[in-house]
Amino acid sequence: MSLQQSQIVERKKKLSCSFLGHQLEVVKNYKHGQNEYCCKWCKNQFTDTDSGKPGFLTPKLHRINIALEKIYYRKMRMS
């Protein structure tokens, strides 16, 4: 596939996201109830947010997820 062709494919994938929504697959299932997702088409990463809808996974949100996971396991050990 030429570079130009692959660019067109990339653009189509992104278009399908804006029209049809992202095709999210769970990539990380946290015990504390938040999941991380990856879009099959645009490869963007998402996580559950307070609003209940998946939002973009920022490095900050990723750190929070990991921290919550640690707290969860600490609680489990103590109980």
Q: Which residues bind to Zn ion, rule: CB under 5 A?
A: 17, 22, 39, 41-42
The residue (of 17 and 68) whose beta carbon lies closer to Zn ion is 17
* Least distance to Zn ion, CB of residue 60, Å: 21
Letter string b/e over residues 23-60, b meaning 16 or more CB atoms within 10 A of that residue's CB: ebeeebeeeeebebbbbebbeebbbbeeeeebeebeee
**Residue 78 Cβ vs Zn ion, minimum distance, rounded to whole Å:** 40
**CB nearer to Zn ion: pick between 56 and 73:** 56
